[in-house]
A and B are shown apart, each in its own frame.
Chain A
Amino acid sequence: MNKEINLAKDFLLDQVLRDYSNNSKDNEILEKIATLKHEKIQKPLVFVGCGTCGLGAGAGTTLEMVKKYFAEKQIDADIIETGCIGLCAVEPIMDVCLPGYNRMSFCNVMGDNVYDVLDKAFQLELPDSKMILGQLEIPGAKPWNGVNLLGEHPFFKTQKRIVLKNCGIIDPTDIREYIARGGYKSYIKAISVHTPIEICDIVEKSGLRGRGGGGFPTGRKWRFANSEKSDQKYLICNADEGDPGAFMDRAVIEGDPHKLIEGMAIGAYAIGATFAYIYIRAEYPLAIKRLQIAMKQAEDYGIIGKDIFGTGVDFHIKIKKGAGAFVCGEETALMNSVEGKRGTPRPRPPFPTTSGLFKKPTIINNVETFGNISTIIENGAEWFASTGTADSKGTKVFALSGKIALTGLVEIPMGTTIRQILFNMAGGIRNNKKFKAVQIGGPSGGCITEANLDIEIDYASLLSVGAMMGSGGLVVMDEDNCMVDVAKFFMGFIQRESCGKCIPCREGTRRLLEILESITSKPSSSDTEALDRFKGVMQIESLCKVIKDTSLCGLGQTAPNPVLSTLRWFRDEYEAHVFDRKCPAGVCKNLRVYRIDVDKCTGCTVCSRKCPVNAIVGSKKAPHFIVEDKCIGCGVCYDVCKFDAIRVV
């Protein structure tokens, strides 16, 4: 076995990587590459999607059952654990590849379905239609009858996958497959043909902008760092995906870690850095593990290390595990954290490209940004710039979650409308409910309502409606969600995560949260209650403005966005909370008023026994009543009543 691996290694290094510009027509070489890409197989091959989301849905059991199946039936077959293809809603996903046939993708394959699906697949029969996802074309292989191509699935049809291209398809723990699919060619080409400044030029011309939230032109940032003179420069990859609702970075690292390493290696060469850090969340243990394996392999192949491919270029990577602070997504705070300090932002200037990590020139880009680099070098700046809108080029990965039918990751060309993503690709709102809003850009972003669903996604258009690209989380909300509650949720998050360095953010977000809490708290009969409530509400907009104008870092400056955005589009909901003391969606518990329907109540006393505050009175076998002043709106009585006698009014 080891000999085989060494042969593959020599072949890949000599024939594929050193010959990066030559797309070989040699049949023998093509054959070898096809084998490494799992396109030419001698025995059955099963892929199980084992990203964090797949495992959460039960892929671990699926995988065990597949192993058991082959052991029991004594079938000689290979099993590969892939990353996530992006369709989280129908996980666990299992692909079956039989020699000579297309790769067939099955979904919703829970452990107990495995035997059935595999039994049928080996007879070239299909299971229940809800477990069929589609087939992936393999050159020269026979198709499965009556199964659509995976690329024709509405979820995938309008995607343009650059960053996610390999995710869920390849074995993330095997560098050979990555190289066979054209990986690391761009890096070898970059360091042997181009000068560093040429790389900066190509990236700048491509129009790639930072995908982490800021949207700063990547090539320009690299050029600044390139022009600095220093004995040591650093490159940092920000994989501290702190935005709740975004998980594309995790998916890329779990599904295609070499793509990140290649992008970073090219970036390091472009600015003259020999040392790089990957700052990754400790909450992503699987991603860290896959990254470590990938780094080890890259070292083994001489792609990380000293004097890479005899070009004299050095490149080293070190993983730094984040310790759970949202503010560390801000680049200067992240650098403090890497240095082992509290993760608080630094004032700028000096900018990190001049004086960053350990006071040396440093660039920070996020995972998705680096994920684009190798393809840009391979196909050229013009190719990349041909996709997208005037000021936003290329594609963007969005993470779909919330009340949407198909949750998961989509990579779409800039300029696609949000309506297309939500309703054409992701199947619309769950359970036929009515769409209310989609929250984009995490805690710093804003809401997009029905009226704005047709704007074409780019950095500028999103800003014009009070939202922002952010890292690309799309959390969909339906009529059952209360927007004041959502704003309160975000303020709670930001207030907890505020680093405390500057006063506007530390104190301001706390006050904002207090105001939101007071308008969602239980109406009291005290004389000053109304006064307190209105005093806060009147200040809410000016407070937001002060926080925006006077905070030190980007997170502080965008901290009031959830409130401003919901206030702009859902003022009526705020007014219902403030004036009518009602929550139209029925989410804010303290504003719910419960009544007992005397006609339906049988006096079974269950509710009065379960009520935690003894707010329900009444004698046995006679209708009960709720004492409103005592009621805390917990809803226990509503849940336990067997006679449907309790209503929310």
Chain B
Amino acid sequence: MESNIQKLLKNYPEGHPENLIPILQDIQDSEGFLSEPSVIQVGQYLDMPVSKIFGVATFYNQFRFKPLGKYNIQVCRGTACHVLGSSTVLEEVEKFVGVTAGNTSRDGMFSIEVVACIGACGLAPVVSINGDFYAKLTAESIKEILQNYRNKEQS
């Protein structure tokens, strides 16, 4: 049977190294992260050493090598967010989830990611949870939002 990765690779019939980043992005979009076997398959397809692919993948912030939680919390740490107290928001998120940024909670529910700027500086500080934006946050409001997610899961 054809694997998911092979299906994705078929979208790039020319197999040109130019497509390396889009291929990795597609794999991450569909699998959630880049696993070693998937990277090896990409290497075979593009005729590139796996070390080179890891070299590229680790260079960019976007690529992950660990699966994400069910809810991925992206905390914006841009300048505007920083000036308006995003460090406190991040601390609060870390305290709530129980892991530091870049990690996934043990129950696989939440993962925390720090991003450079989401581009919603006018509404700082901002957090995005699975693509839903939460704006003008404070330590209290973020706690409430996260609690809602947790309650939703438990019920």
Interface positions, chain B 92-147, Cβ under 8 Å from A, are: 115-124, 126, 131, 133-135
CA–CA, A473 and B122, complex, Å: 11
B21 at the interface (CB under 8 A from A): yes
Q: List 10 A-B contacts (CB under 8 A).
A: A89-B122, A244-B77, A284-B119, A285-B131, A323-B25, A326-B116, A402-B124, A407-B124, A476-B83, A490-B79
Judge whether A244 and B116 touch: CB under 8 Å: yes
Query: Cβ of A403 and Cβ of B84 under 8 Å apart?
Result: yes
Number of A-B residue pairs with CB-CB distance less than 8 Å in the complex they form:
142
Q: Is there contact, CB below 8 Å, between A56 and B59?
A: no
Structural contact, A399 and B121, CB atoms closer than 8 A = yes
B119 to chain A: which residues have CB within 8 Å?
52, 241, 247, 250, 281, 283-284
- A244-B78 in contact (CB<8A): yes
Chain B residue with the shortest CB-CB distance to A403 = B83
Of the stretches B3-11, B12-20, B65-73, the one at the interface is: B12-20
B116 touching A493, Cβ below 8 Å: yes
Q: Are B120 and A477 interface neighbours, CB within 8 A?
A: no
> What residues on B are CB-neighbors of A250 within 8 Å?
119
Rounded to whole Å, the gap between the CB of B88 and the closest CB of chain A is 9
Task: Judge whether A247 and B122 touch: CB under 8 Å.
Answer: yes
B53's nearest neighbour on chain A, judged by CB, is: A340
Residues of B within 8 A of A473 (CB): 79-80, 121
Tell me whether A413 is interfacial, beta carbon within 8 Å.
no
Taking the closest CB of chain A, its distance from the CB of B45, in whole angstroms, is 13
Q: How far is the CA of A320 from the CA of B61 in the complex (A)?
A: 16
Q: What residues on B are CB-neighbors of A56 within 8 Å?
A: 120, 123, 126, 133-135
Please tell me which one of the listed residues B24, B60, B80, B134 contacts residue A401 in the complex, with CB atoms under 8 A apart.
B80
Query: Does the CB pair A88–B123 fall under 8 Å?
Result: yes
Task: Find chain B residues with CB under 8 A from A55 CB.
Answer: 133
Chain A residues lying within 8 Å of B83, measured Cβ to Cβ, are 401-403, 475-477, 481, 486
Q: Which residues of A contact B18 (CB under 8 A)?
A: 338-340
Interface size class of B (residues with CB under 8 A): 35 or more
0/1 interface trace, chain B 42-73, chain A, CB 8 Å (1 if under): 00000000000001100111110000000000
* Chain B hits for A407, CB < 8 A: 80, 121-124
Q: Are A402 and B84 in contact (CB under 8 A)?
A: yes
The reply on A282 being an interface residue by CB < 8 A is yes
Chain A: minimal CB distance from B25 (Å)? 6
> Which residues of A line the B interface, CB within 8 A?
52-53, 55-57, 88-89, 91, 241-247, 250, 281-285, 320-321, 323-326, 337-343, 399-403, 407-408, 439, 442-443, 473, 475-477, 481, 486, 489-490, 493, 497, 499
B22 at the interface (CB under 8 A from A): yes
Residues on B facing A (Cβ under 8 Å): 16-22, 24-25, 55-56, 59-63, 77-84, 115-124, 126, 131, 133-135
How many Å lie between the Cα of A94 and that of B72 in the bound state? Answer: 30
Bound CA–CA A466/B54 (angstroms): 39
Q: CB < 8 Å: which of A246, A320, A343, A477 contacts B60? A: A343
Docked-complex contact A340 and B19, CB < 8 angstroms: yes
Taking a contact as CB atoms under 8 Å apart, the answer to whether B61 and A324 are in contact is yes
Counting chain A CB atoms within 10 Å of each CB, the highest count among B62, B63, B83, B119 belongs to B119
> How many Å lie between the Cα of A141 and that of B117 in the bound state?
42
A242 to B118, alpha carbons, bound, how many Å? 9
CA distance A57 to B61 in the complex (A): 27
What separation, in Å, do the CA atoms of A442 and B117 have in the docked complex?
Answer: 11
Specify which chain A residues have a CB less than 8 angstroms from the CB of B122 in the assembled complex.
53, 88-89, 91, 247, 399-401, 407-408
Whole-angstrom distance between the Cβ of A332 and the nearest chain B Cβ: 15
**CB of A616 to closest CB in B, whole Å:** 19
Q: Which residues of chain A are within 8 angstroms of B22 by Cβ–Cβ distance? A: 320-321
Give A323 to B62 CA distance when docked, in angstroms. Answer: 5
A284 to B131, CA, bound (A): 10
Q: A56-B126, A245-B78, A323-B21 are in contact. Are A343 and B120 (CB under 8 A)?
A: no
Q: Which A residues touch B124, using CB under 8 A?
A: 401-402, 407
Shortest C-beta distance, B33 to chain A (Å), equals 14
**A489 partner, pick from B21, B55, B79, B84, beta carbons under 8 A:** B79
How far is the CB of B21 from the nearest CB of chain A, in Å?
Answer: 5
Contacting pair B59 A442 (CB below 8 A): no
Min CB gap A165→B, angstroms: 20
CB distance from A569 to the nearest CB of B (A): 16
Is A343 a contact partner of B80 (Cβ separation < 8 A)? no
Q: Give Cα A408 to B122, complex, Å.
A: 6
Query: Given A244-B121, A324-B61, A486-B83, list of 7 further CB < 8 A pairs?
Result: A55-B133, A282-B62, A342-B55, A400-B122, A473-B80, A475-B80, A489-B79
- Chain B contacts of A401 at CB under 8 A? 79-80, 83, 121-122, 124
Q: Nearest-CB distance from A253 to chain B (Å)? A: 10
Contact B133 A52 (CB under 8 A): yes
Set of chain A residues within 8 Å of B17, measured between Cβ atoms: 339-340
For A57, the chain B residues whose CB sits under 8 A away are: 123, 135
B55 closest partner in A (C-beta):
A342
Neighbouring A residues of B133 by C-beta, 8 Å = 52, 55-56
Q: Which of A242, A338, A473, A475 has the most CB of B within 10 A?
A: A475
CB distance from B124 to the nearest CB of A (A): 6
CB–CB B118/A340 < 8 A: no
Query: A242 touching B116 by the CB < 8 A rule?
Result: yes
Chain A residues, CB < 8 A from B20: 340
Q: How far is the CA of A400 from the CA of B122 in the complex (A)?
A: 7
Are A497 and B116 closer than 8 Å at their CB atoms?
yes
A343 to B122: give the CA distance in the assembly, Å.
Answer: 29
A342–B54 alpha-carbon span in the complex (Å): 10
Residue of A nearest to B127 (CB): A56
The chain B residue sitting closest to A89, CB to CB, is: B122
B118: min CB distance to chain A, Å: 6
A89 to B61, CA, bound (A): 30
Taken together as a complex, chains A and B put the C-alpha atoms of A323 and B56 apart, in Å, by 10
Query: Which residues on the A side are within 8 Å of B77 (C-beta)?
Result: 244, 493
> Is A324's CB under 8 angstroms from B21's CB?
no
CB distance from A470 to the nearest CB of B (A): 11
Contact residues in A for B25 (Cβ distance below 8 Å):
282, 321, 323
Q: Specify which chain A residues have a CB less than 8 angstroms from the CB of B117 in the assembled complex.
A: 241-247, 283
Partner of B118, one of A89, A283, A339, A341: A283
Q: How far is the CA of A363 from the CA of B22 in the complex (A)?
A: 22
Closest to A489 in B: B82
**Across the interface, which residues of B come within 8 angstroms of A342, CB to CB?**
55-56, 59
Closest 9 CB pairs of A and B: A88-B122, A244-B78, A401-B80, A323-B60, A56-B133, A324-B61, A407-B122, A401-B121, A340-B20
Question: Within the assembled complex, what's the spacing in Å between the Cα atoms of A476 and B80?
Answer: 8
Whether A325 pairs with B61 at a CB distance below 8 angstroms is: yes
Please report the C-alpha to C-alpha distance between residue A486 and residue B85 in the assembled complex, in whole angstroms. 12
How near does chain B come to A397, taking the closest CB pair, in angstroms?
13
For B63, what are the chain A residues with a Cβ–Cβ distance below 8 Å? 323
List the B side residues contacting A486 at CB < 8 Å. 79, 82-83
A321 to B, closest residue via Cβ = B25
Which residue, of B20, B121, B122, B131, has the highest number of chain A Cβ atoms within 10 A?
A: B122
Q: Tell me how far the C-beta of A444 lies from the nearest C-beta in chain B, rounded to whole angstroms.
A: 12
Chain B nearest CB, measured from A167 CB (Å): 14
Give Cα distance in the complex from A56 to B79, angstroms.
18
Among A244, A245, A481, the most chain B Cβ lie within 10 Å of the Cβ of: A244
